[in-house]
Structure 1
Amino acid sequence: MDTVSVIGGLATLCSTTSFVPQAWKVIRTRDTASISAGMYAVTVLGFSLWLTYGWLNGQWPLIVTNGICLLLSAFILVMKLLPKRQKEQVAEALDPAAG
């Protein structure tokens, strides 16, 4: 494996896992008060555009990486925007032990 592929692989790993701690914290605590909806809206839009760009160019590394990032960041945004009762229901379904 060449240096470019290693760097690309590490970048993919960092990008796709960077949202996991925040998503998990939202599930466990049900607290989204300190999360910026605007920041996540822009992030979701950015990942959507990167995913589209990758799709139009047939670049699977971009498609997979940005698809995963889009799902995780969109989940966080949706949890931020959901009313408390629905947020509780989603979190309970994903982690019943935390409720």
Structure 2
Amino acid sequence: MDAATIVGGLATLCSTTSFVPQAWKVIRTRDTTSISTRMYVVTVVGFSLWLTYGLLLWQWPLILTNGICLLLSAFILLMKLLPRRQKEKVAEALDPAAG
């Protein structure tokens, strides 16, 4: 394996796992008050564009990485925007023990 592949793999691992702790915290606590809506809107748009770019080039590393990051960041944004009652339902479905 060459250095570029190793660095790319590590970057993918860091990028895709960076949203997991925040998503899990939102599920467990149902609290999104400290999350910036604007920041997550920009992040979701950015990952959407990166995913489109990867699809246009048919580059699987870009498609996979940005697809996963888009799903996780869009989930966090959705939870931020949902009314409390719907947020509770989603979180309960994903982690019934936390309710």
1:5 positional shift: 0.4
1:49 is aligned to: 49
Q: Tell me, which stretches of 5 or more residues in structure 2 are unaligned?
A: none
Deviation of 1:32 after TM superposition, in Å, equals: 0.1
Look up the equivalent residue of 1:32 and give its one-letter code. T
**By how many angstroms is 1:18 displaced?**
0.2
Q: Deviations over 1:22-61 (max 9, x none)?
A: 0000000000000000000000000000000000001010
Unaligned runs of 5+ in 1: none
Q: Number of residue pairs matched? A: 99
Q: TM-score, normalised by structure 1?
A: 1.00
Cα RMSD after superposing both structures: 0.3
**Matching of residues 1-99 of structure 1 within 5 Å:** 1-99=1-99
Distance 2:61 2:35 in 1: 28
Q: 2:56, 2:92 → 1: CA distance?
A: 38
Structure 1 residue runs of 4 or more that deviate by more than 4 Å after TM superposition: none
